[in-house]
Structure 1
Amino acid sequence: MGAMRACVIVALLFIGVAAARRQKEDDYGKILSMSYKFYEGQMSGELPPWNQHLYSKGGWRKSAHLKDNYNGVDLVGGFYDAGDYLKISHPLGWGVSNLILSMVEFKQAYDDANVWATAVRNMKWATDWLIKAHVKASDNPRDNVFIGQLSGKNDHHYFGRPEHAYNERPIYVADSSTGGADLVGEFAAAYAAGAVLFKAEGQAAYANVLYKHAKQAFAFAEAHPNTWKVPPGVFQAYASYWPEGYIAHLAWASAWMCKYDADMCPTANKWFNNALAVNNLRYGLGYDWDSTLPGAAALMISMSQPSASAAKQYLEDYVLTKWENSGNKCPQPSYSTVCYTPKGLAYYSDWGTLRNTGNMMFMAALMGKYGNNKQAHICWARSQMRYITGTATGKSYLIGYGPDQPKRPHHRQSACSARYTEPCNPFNGGTCCAGESGVGVGGCCDESNFRNPHPAQIVLAGALVGGPDQSDNYPDIREDYQRSEVAFDYNAGFTGAAAGLAQFARSGGLGSCPGGGSSGGGGGSAPNPPSNPPPNTPPPNNGGGNGGGKTIPDWQKCGGIEGNCPASSCGDGKWNGFSCKSGSVCKRQSEYFWMCTPGTRTLAAPAATPLAGGATAAADQPAVPGVDLLEVSAPAAAPAGSPVQLAASLTRMGAPVSGAVVEFVVADSTGNGSATVQAVTDREGIARAVLPVEAAGAAGSSSTVSAVTPDGKAMGAKGTVALSSAEVGITWQ
């Protein structure tokens, strides 16, 4: 009897150990469904009755921007791009075509999650607007006009709800004078992808309309082989990095057209081979709105086209091999390779890194269906999903799912209360409604509220944030658009990865992954302790002034306006009386806030001499191929109250970048004054500007000069402020 009891105990222990080794799977169907909930929160225009967030049904969204138009052509509808209210065709077109690819390849997952009909409705909402955005359609390529960007910095400076927006919304187009094969190639891809989807849905007439637009857009793109640019001096939210990058967009678009119309397949093979012959495209490791060759390769492989063998060698044997090499550890120069963080994230881009990881997870899922090393790709995608959802680490980057979720996404409306009472009046860059005052719960929906560190008052369920740094640090600061922003295109590839993993889980394809085998809910084990981000409010200033000597930990704000400012009023500069710990620096993160950041990497000495007879500093960015370098120069000393010459040099892979907008930001030592001066780089890549007299400091004071550029950007980064220079100082005499 004792022996039998012992056997039972041993058996139970064996079962318990085996069960512990089988990690609980994420709820991929739930993640898939939540993604579309996020997309519906980004809808613009007269919201449809099926929107999941309707204010009239207890939600937080009302119809908005009902007057969007271009010379009288209706542009109401579509989706907001990210945490503001711009509508931008480039990332939208890319996101739509990727979402449709996930629907086509993993339809069973959509059906199982009961989200197919929702996805079809969302895709039609998008393609309907993209048809509107083809504001002049013609079979003559030169006569076509497409909307590239609706609104600009005006929207960045509006912090209210979209239905109350009062800012101007300028529109920039692609036409025969601008060209833009990269931008219009994404129109063609989205139209053709939509044609594939709606033909399968039995909507042949609508599919034919979409495909006609696809042919017109593609003809325009072939006739205008360049990248699209807005007029000089205008803010451009998305600007292609490589001059020859349009070739990959044509490969991506023609691949989709081949999927709809076999007559286009020779053209698709031609453009794919052309793109593969360009080293800057062939050896890039990103996949996003600007780097589309991996997606084109996946399509060619799925259709068994003549170029499929070369496509598989490129995507599976080169790109995914780099991504799946967990032996390459961080830190590494961003955008130059893929490295692994201490907790296991495959890290490529400093700007919205989870966007690129999620996109490549989607490519891995597709190669889990079509590749030679299927199981390895599936298991790698699963491992990265477990990092993103926090199932493996205890820290989630997906709002509404998993442990220790992001609390302060860079999203304007989510910082405000979901419900309010009219009237709502313009106030402080936003609005204040009846009964609202101050910030946080019950506060106004304005700039002060946005910059305050209170948690979001609206949960953006399904939104993927930009993500951590190479050491797994996530500050969770609302102003930090590099790590905290959410966007339509950030979610697109991630949604496809969730669909793929859901389908593989259904068929038992995850069972042989490390710890795989159990299916179901979204909890999961957390073998590592949670990586709780530090609070982003600095310690109280007991005494204030320079004598306070308070030390701010890494990844907390150490300067900037509004929000966490410890004094009664702070300007755009470092906070007086506070400093970062030894080995860290208080570094500008944007035009609005500064953060204590661990020590900078050593750079090669700049080749150029100081540009304006004074100190020169380079961006905190390694001088490696494929990465921009921005240097700023100003005199080390200047007469008080006098104008000062400023200069900046922008290079890409060592070559000067001309025609790029550079903004010089000058802040005085007290943190109570700042000025911004804009210039454009010349043929030598140098931008020159004069700091006006009114921005000069008083005798005995000092100022810091830094520069940011929306044009010089790391590969795949959203082009708001992608690089900022190290600062130089001016002493006023």
Structure 2
Amino acid sequence: MAPKSFSFPGIFPALLASSLALLLLSTPIIAVHDYHDALRKSILFFEGQRSGKLPPDQRVKWRRDSALRDGSTAGVDLTGGYYDAGDNIKFGFPMAFTTTLLAWSIIDFGRNMGPELKNAVKAVKWSTDYLLKATAKPGVVYVQVGDAYSDHSCWERPEDMDTLRTVYKIDNAHPGSDVAGETAAALAAASIVFRSRDPAYSRLLLNRAVRVFNFADMHRGAYSSSLHAAVCPFYCDVNGYQDELLWAAAWLHKASRKRAYREYIIKNEVVLRAGDTINEFGWDNKHAGINVLISKEVLMGRADYFESFKQNADGFICSILPGISHPQVQYSPESMWFSGGLIFKAGGSNMQHVTSLSFLLLAYSNYLSHANKAVPCGERSASPALLKQLAKRQVNYILGDNPLGMSYMVGYGSRFPQRIHHRGSSLPSVAAHPARIGCKAGSRYYLSPNPNPNLLLGAVVGGPNVSDAFPDSRPYFQESEPTTYINAPLVGLLAFFSAHP
């Protein structure tokens, strides 16, 4: 986008010039965004990530059936579910978190989704159908299908997959309270989504959530310890399993309204460290999410016994406000002509932090609005409007209001990533190239400078670095790889802003 030119007759008055400079510095050039289009594409993305037998109404036509024998080596049916990112592994931990956030998006913002609501609900069910299979056997949760090292040594379409489809599970002797807790949270949250749409399915989800939570709580331990060679360093839980137990209990309380879960939360608040790392939220760390979710009840005037969670949620808000943010939270710089200001946290795939934290900002803003409250941050006060503005700024950055003037969502806008780190997108489709493309034969496509032949519409990549630089290149996977857990909270954000542009 070229800078606008300004001309004034005569001599520039000093005051006017300085005021104009301040205005330009403080007011980035903002495009008008089609949030409806972005919402539609962000949900469509999940169809491109589907594993298993594809349904007749599949809209991403370059995909075909894949991994139809998943689970067979263990004598179970583990077909279906989602590939979490640009590879062909089904990791249960991020898949469950994706499901929880998709469900939360529908619970809080489904009324804003219009005709896309039915597709969002389908996206949740595609995952919960799989999670029900993965938890069908009492005392066992199947948490991964595929050997990551074998998979990552190949560049091949999921339809051609010939890498190891090893099945990994947790059980009484090999606990995984983190992945089991997140799975219970996903099933409980989804039960709310289906409560009026399909009561029988909703009851099945909730009953299974209860059973999986009891297993997670009774047999405590981190799945990274039980399955270290399989899950680390890919989705190794460095944060511990305690937060997932509280997170699951919070969703079970919301879904069932049973006193037992309220008492569990109160009893275990300190033991399970609800007040730790309150500015973190993602597939590995649920602390900020726990506090925001539980705070809604306090703000609705129904649960003074949860007041400490609201204090934690307020602390989370203050920790990420620009200008007074926590050292772990940075913002990219702003320039005169373009809007920077992207949330940035150390580690890979930064957009996962942007969308998850922005979702919490928006959700908490709505809860505060209903209660006519604001968040005190020392001498400053964060109003609901300010939190919405900050969340919207992050969404707009993703959609193109950034120094590079590009959208980080594939297929949205006129300029977007062309070489995303994604096997199915970067290799010729089965329709275009029916013959199998072998493990190493795909390497030439991986290394090619050409754009991907298949658009994975709606995919949001890991995004730029803290200096707003972005290499549009497959080997730079931290920047160019999309994930389901980037998109899941973005669905809720886009739904809200499509109704409140």
TM-score by length of 1: 0.58
Please, which runs of 5 or more residues in structure 2 have no aligned partner?
A: 1-22, 334-339, 369-373, 375-382
Task: Answer yes or no: is 1:37 the counterpart of 2:44.
Answer: yes
Distance in 2 between residues matched to 1:369 and 1:489, nearest whole Å: 22
Distance in 1 between residues matched to 2:28 and 2:279, nearest whole Å: 33
Deviation at 1:272, TM superposition (A): 6.2
Deviation at 1:184, TM superposition (A): 0.1
Checking the alignment, whether the CA contact within 8 Å between 1:159 and 1:413 is kept in structure 2 is: no
Deviations 1:535-592 (CA, angstroms, capped at 9, x unpaired): xxxxxxxxxxxxxxxxxxxxxxxxxxxxxxxxxxxxxxxxxxxxxxxxxxxxxxxxxx
Q: What SS does the corresponding residue of 1:286 show, helix, strand or coil?
A: coil
Deviations 1:110-160 (CA, angstroms, capped at 9, x unpaired): 12xx101111112111111100011412xxxxxx11111111222212212
Look up the match of 2:319: 322
Checking the alignment, whether the CA contact within 8 Å between 1:179 and 1:221 is kept in structure 2 is: yes
Look up the match of 1:485: 481
Task: Answer yes or no: is 1:310 the counterpart of 2:308.
Answer: yes
Task: Answer yes or no: is 1:293 the counterpart of 2:287.
Answer: yes
Aligned residues: 448
Deviation at 1:75, TM superposition (A): 0.8
Q: What SS does the corresponding residue of 2:312 show, helix, strand or coil?
A: helix
Distance in 2 between residues matched to 1:132 and 1:464, nearest whole Å: 28
Q: How does 1:502-651 map to 2 (within 5 A)?
A: 502-503=498-499, 505=500, 519=501
Deviations 1:23-50 (CA, angstroms, capped at 9, x unpaired): 5542222222111110000001110112
The equivalent position to 1:180 in structure 2, one of 172, 176, 183, is: 176
Look up the match of 1:474: 470
Task: Answer yes or no: is 1:126 the counterpart of 2:136.
Answer: no
Deviations 1:65-102 (CA, angstroms, capped at 9, x unpaired): 11111522111111111101111111111111111111
Deviation at 1:404, TM superposition (A): 3.0
Give the letter for the 1:148 counterpart. Answer: V
Distance in 1 between residues matched to 2:316 and 2:111, nearest whole Å: 27
Give the CA RMSD over aligned residues.
2.4
Checking the alignment, whether the CA contact within 8 Å between 1:194 and 1:210 is kept in structure 2 is: yes
Q: How does 1:342-491 map to 2 (within 5 A)?
A: 342=333, 343-371=340-368, 372=374, 373-393=383-403, 394-418=405-429, 420=431, 424-425=435-436, 427-430=438-441, 446-491=442-487
Deviation at 1:279, TM superposition (A): 6.0
Deviation at 1:310, TM superposition (A): 2.1
Query: Which range moves more in the overlay, 476-485 or 181-190?
Result: 476-485
Distance in 1 between residues matched to 2:129 and 2:439, nearest whole Å: 35
Structure that is richer in helix per residue: 2
Look up the match of 1:69: 71
Distance in 2 between residues matched to 1:65 and 1:352, nearest whole Å: 26
Distance in 2 between residues matched to 1:148 and 1:34, nearest whole Å: 28
Distance in 1 between residues matched to 2:269 and 2:43, nearest whole Å: 32
Look up the match of 2:6: none
Give the letter for the 1:125 counterpart. Answer: W
Distance in 2 between residues matched to 1:173 and 1:456, nearest whole Å: 35
- Cα gap change, 1:358 to 1:422, in 2 (>3 Å): closer
Give the letter for the 1:37 counterpart. Answer: L
Larger radius of gyration: 1
Q: What SS does the corresponding residue of 1:457 show, helix, strand or coil?
A: coil
Distance in 2 between residues matched to 1:270 and 1:232, nearest whole Å: 29
Q: Which has the higher contact order (CA 8 A, sep 6+)?
A: 2
Checking the alignment, whether the CA contact within 8 Å between 1:148 and 1:183 is kept in structure 2 is: yes
- Cα gap change, 1:467 to 1:423, in 2 (>3 Å): closer
Checking the alignment, whether the CA contact within 8 Å between 1:88 and 1:150 is kept in structure 2 is: yes
- Cα gap change, 1:426 to 1:378, in 2 (>3 Å): closer
- Cα gap change, 1:25 to 1:176, in 2 (>3 Å): same
Deviation at 1:391, TM superposition (A): 2.6
Deviation at 1:274, TM superposition (A): 3.3
Distance in 1 between residues matched to 2:55 and 2:307, nearest whole Å: 44
Checking the alignment, whether the CA contact within 8 Å between 2:52 and 2:79 is kept in structure 1 is: yes
Q: What SS does the corresponding residue of 1:409 show, helix, strand or coil?
A: coil
Look up the match of 1:107: 110
Distance in 1 between residues matched to 2:107 and 2:436, nearest whole Å: 46
Structure that is richer in strand per residue: 1
Look up the match of 1:340: 331
Q: How does 1:211-360 map to 2 (within 5 A)?
A: 211-229=206-224, 230-231=226-227, 233-236=229-232, 237-242=234-239, 245-263=240-258, 265-268=259-262, 270-271=264-265, 274-275=268-269, 282-304=276-298, 305-315=303-313, 317-326=314-323, 337-342=328-333, 343-360=340-357
Checking the alignment, whether the CA contact within 8 Å between 1:34 and 1:461 is kept in structure 2 is: yes
Distance in 1 between residues matched to 2:29 and 2:464, nearest whole Å: 27
Q: What SS does the corresponding residue of 1:160 show, helix, strand or coil?
A: coil
Percent identity over paired residues: 30
Give the letter for the 2:51 counterpart. Answer: S
Checking the alignment, whether the CA contact within 8 Å between 1:44 and 1:79 is kept in structure 2 is: yes
- Cα gap change, 1:232 to 1:300, in 2 (>3 Å): closer
Look up the match of 1:721: none
Distance in 1 between residues matched to 2:80 and 2:486, nearest whole Å: 20
Give the letter for the 2:360 counterpart. Answer: M
Deviation at 1:302, TM superposition (A): 2.5
Checking the alignment, whether the CA contact within 8 Å between 1:251 and 1:272 is kept in structure 2 is: no
Deviation at 1:403, TM superposition (A): 4.8
Deviations 1:153-212 (CA, angstroms, capped at 9, x unpaired): 2221221221111122111101011111111001111111121111121x1111111111
Checking the alignment, whether the CA contact within 8 Å between 1:350 and 1:469 is kept in structure 2 is: no
Give the letter for the 1:75 counterpart. Answer: L
Distance in 2 between residues matched to 1:23 and 1:324, nearest whole Å: 21
Checking the alignment, whether the CA contact within 8 Å between 2:462 and 2:479 is kept in structure 1 is: yes
Task: Answer yes or no: is 1:165 the counterpart of 2:161.
Answer: yes
Checking the alignment, whether the CA contact within 8 Å between 2:177 and 2:220 is kept in structure 1 is: yes
Q: What SS does the corresponding residue of 1:148 show, helix, strand or coil?
A: strand
Distance in 1 between residues matched to 2:219 and 2:77, nearest whole Å: 26
Distance in 1 between residues matched to 2:407 and 2:420, nearest whole Å: 13
Distance in 1 between residues matched to 2:68 and 2:130, nearest whole Å: 13
Look up the match of 1:600: none
Give the letter for the 2:476 counterpart. Answer: D
